[in-house]
């Protein structure tokens, strides 16, 4: 598991790190803005990535005056952009591999034709 995604902070610590009240974190969870992991005892556990997401929500609201509905839209769009960037990166790598394969095939082709 990636270190940033490892659940390791209980709600009180995550709230302190994000400079929010614990109830705010619960509210954001109900809205689906952040989804912490749960321990076997059903205790919320937040990752570094979750805390950073909470900080981003706070910045959008406090610094830019965005309401919760706007935060949700921005966060969803941000996630979608990240997904599309990863998809584009994978496609580009796949295309580069295919181009290299075709270059190798074309490099062999003249030698095969010369033998005939």
Distance CA 9, CA 54 (A): 13
| Domain boundaries 1-64, corresponding CATH code | 1.10.1660.10
Can you give the pLDDT at residue 113? 63
112 vs 28 pLDDT, higher one: 28
Q: Which residue has the tokens 């095969």?
A: 112
114 pLDDT tier (thresholds 50, 70, 90): low
Nearest CA among 16, 8, 17 for reference residue 52: 17
Can you read off the two tokens belonging to residue 37?
A: 């992991």
Nearest CA among 105, 15, 76 for reference residue 51: 15
Can you give the pLDDT at residue 4? 79
9 pLDDT above the threshold of 80: yes
Nearest-5° Cα angle at 22, 82 to 64 = 50
Kindly report the pTM of this predicted structure: 0.74
Domain borders along the chain are 1-64, 67-116
Mean pLDDT of 82-88: 97
């Amino acid at each position: 598991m990636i270190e940033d995604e490892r659940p390791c902070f209980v709600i009180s610590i995550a709230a302190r790190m994000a400079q929010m009240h614990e109830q705010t974190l619960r509210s954001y969870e109900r809205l689906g803005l952040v989804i912490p992991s749960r321990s076997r005892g059903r205790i919320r556990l937040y990752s570094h990535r979750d805390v950073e997401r909470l900080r981003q929500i706070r910045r959008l609201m406090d610094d830019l005056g965005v309401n919760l509905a706007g935060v949700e839209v921005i966060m969803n769009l941000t996630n979608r952009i990240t997904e599309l960037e990863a998809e584009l990166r994978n496609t580009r790598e796949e295309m580069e591999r295919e181009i290299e394969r075709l270059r190798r095939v074309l490099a062999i082709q003249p030698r095969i034709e010369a033998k005939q």
